Amino acid sequence: MISNQILSDRHARGYLTILTGLLLLVALVCVGMWAQPSRPASLSVKPSAPAAVAPAQPGTNHELTSVDLEAFLDGLMPAQLEREDVAGAVIAVVKDGQVIFAKGYGYSDMAKRTPVTPDSTLFRPGSISKLFTWTSVMQLVEQGKLDLNRDGNDYLDFKIPPAFGKPITLRNIMTHTSGFEETGKDLFVKDAQHMDSLEYYVKNHIPERIFPPGEVPAYSNYATALAGYIVQRVSGKPFEQYVAENIYTPLEMKRSTFVQPLPEDLKPMMSKGYDRASSDPKPFEFVEAFPAGSVSTTARDMCNFMIAHLQNGQFGSVQILRPETATLMHSRLFGSDDRMNGMAHGFYEESKNGHRIIGHAGDTELFHSDLHLILDSNVGFFVSYNSAGKGEISPRTVLFEKFRDRYFPYTEPPPGKIENAKADAASIAGLYISSRRFESSFLKLTSLLGQNKVFENSDGTISIDPFKGPNGQLLKFEEISPLLYREVHGRAHVGFKWDGNGRLQFELDWPFFVFQKVGFWENKYFNYTLAIFGLIMVVLTVLLWPVGALIRKHYGRPLDLNPLERKLRLGVRLVCILFICFFGGWLAVLATAMASISAINALAPWIIVLGILGVLSAFGSVLVCVNAFRSWSTPNRWIWTKLHETALALGCLSLVWFALTWNLMNFNIHY
């Protein structure tokens, strides 16, 4: 549910064809080539120093007024929606405690041509919902009911299993440094009948911990849901009721709710959600980990929330947070690289153009949203689209960049002189995986498919595949200080550094995960080679089995094998068929899972079936190896037969390696 502009968490799609019979099998391993948190002690925490924000440079800027905004956005949005095949969007801007712009563009229902409006069309802002969860946490912190540095287990009626000798705290959760791996099962569910309670979700979907708490940022929806459950237990009220009474009501957010399905009075206002405007609408999305992303709201309601945070917790005559609590919440709490943006208390830094900006992005499958608070200018910006559209770069990214450069223009300082730029580029080149990843289940395969490649360009800049600009071309970054890179003619930054274990990593402008350099055994090209080689061998062996029989029959040359050799030969080919069924089955299961975001929930039985197939294939590989060994010790055996049977044995071992390494037969149904 975090921005697909970041993970682009959009992997490109297509298939590599190697013989007609190999198509379905090789696609599984080649899909990766398709190309992305008295006075209570916790309030006295001293946040780490913020990344330096260079002062704004003088320039020609437009005054941020309602009139100029409307002219600017009216000229931009209709063309953007049409070009990107997006049904509708809503934009709201606040300044100095006032709403200066709120307007809808396009349609909330394409078939009925129902226009989007800022006050009566509901959108799903996805992970921006987390900001209500974090605000709730901070309210309880200032009341002395929660301590950000206390073991989170103290607030639970179950235990997060121990790991790394450190407890997980709310401080870790709010900065996405809890150390949990990613999870996918039951994050979204098909309909209301499949919804379980928040209590059930957090107790039955505990992820494995893959990093020590407080060290490596790795965005976690589960951890946010856990924070929501802590709010529920400590407040003594259902989470959605607590938020309604303590945030929505005082902020007069009358058309906002965490409740799913929607209350009857709000259902008619809900925008349809689309993959593209030209496609049919999809059903309402149900988020089981709902404190992490289930809010339905209007742009006007979000204005009130932004105003309250920009005014240090105050909205009109009410105060949802004390000024000192709001100031603390907006302050930097964690950063893995002091040169880059860091995490505040739930918000994350997005500082650019000489201004300190905090915010949050949000994605469901259909809705894509951004919220930005330009703190030093008292400006808030909210946008939500009801369609993914067709672009590789989210329209909201382009929109906010244009807004920021129009009203807060900035000239980047020239890069410093780097003596060893080429050597630096060579030292960082390689493949990297995101710290936000699956480790213990079959979904670890996405870490292989999603590896990013850093490489040097001929002009001395670097690029990172698959990060592209609006023109569809890979972005170029130039080194501006040792191992710190800035987009050529742009604002984006990439910072490289070595972590405490001597492993090279890089961070983008979003601080809730990093990318870590992979070793040889994780390298996608090495693993693709093993898998493709193995699949070619088993498929060709099966395809040529009947072909060979027909040729021998035609020429009257029967196989001269004794009974044991015939049994071995038949057994080897049955093992090859097992491998084909195993990898073909995984391809079919994953293709089914991609049909919808909730389809992944039904895979547990298939994981067991395919795991059994994998184990049988692995044991069968012993037979293949025995056959290859006997082939070399048998006199008068044709040399090409010996070479084929040896290559087949190596191919089967390669497939076993691939399946074991990427958890394709580990029977873990908690994914």
Does the pLDDT of residue 27 top 60, yes or no?
A: no
Distance CA 26, CA 17 (A): 7
- Percent of the chain at pLDDT exceeding 70: 90
Instruction: Give the whole-angstrom CA distance, residue 374 versus residue 552.
Output: 78
What pLDDT does residue 41 have?
32
| Mean pLDDT within 203-221 | 97
For 363-374, how does the pLDDT look when each residue is reduced to its tens digit (9 = 90+)?
999 999 999 999
pLDDT in the model for residue 552: 67
For residue 656, which amino acid is it? V
pLDDT at 11 > cutoff 70 = no
What is the pLDDT at residue 31? 32
pLDDT tens for each residue of 48-60: 344 445 444 545 6
In angstroms, the CA 555 to CA 564 distance is 24
Written as one letter, the residue type at 440 is S
What is the distance between the alpha carbons of residues 36 and 116, in angstroms, rounded to a whole number? 30
Both tokens assigned to 591: 């293709």
- The whole-angstrom separation of Cα 199 and Cα 600 is 21
Summarize pLDDT for 233-258 with one digit per residue, the tens: 999 999 999 999 999 999 999 999 99
Query: For residue 232, is pLDDT > 60?
Result: yes
| Pairwise CA distance, residues 168 & 147, whole Å | 12
374-399 pLDDT, tens per residue? Answer: 999 999 999 999 999 987 678 999 99
Angle formed by the axes of helices 639-661 and 604-633, to 10°? 150
Beta carbons within 10 angstroms of residue 391's beta carbon: 19
- In total, the chain counts a number of residues equal to 671
How much is the pLDDT for 632?
85
* Closest to 341 in 3D by CA, of 236, 529, 484: 484
Query: 622-638: per-residue pLDDT in tens?
Result: 999 999 998 888 777 77
Average pLDDT over residues 196-208: 97
Residues 313-331: b if buried by 16+ CB within 10 A, e if exposed: bbbeeebbbbeebbebbbb
d(CA 622, CA 112): 63
The pLDDT confidence band at residue 1, using thresholds 50, 70 and 90, is low
Tokens 């549910």 locate to 1
pLDDT tier at 35, thresholds 50, 70, 90:
very low
For the segment 450-464, the average pLDDT, to the nearest whole number, is 95
C-beta of residue 356 within 8 angstroms of C-beta of residue 118? no
Distant-in-sequence, close-in-space partners of 513: CB < 8 Å, separation ≥ 6: 176, 217, 218, 219, 434, 435, 436
Quote the CA–CA distance of 526 and 170 in Å, as a whole number. 40
| Mean pLDDT to the nearest integer, 565-592 | 92
Query: Cβ neighbours of residue 396 under 8 Å, at least 6 residues apart?
Result: 5, 361, 368, 369, 370, 383, 385
Q: What is the pLDDT of residue 553?
A: 67
- Dihedral sign, Cα of residue 604, residue 606, residue 608, residue 611: negative
Q: How many CB atoms lie under 10 A from the CB of residue 79? A: 9
Closest CA to 297 of 353, 248, 348, 225: 248
Alpha helices in 556-593 (DSSP H): 563-593
* Structure tokens that stand for 422 in this block: 């080429």
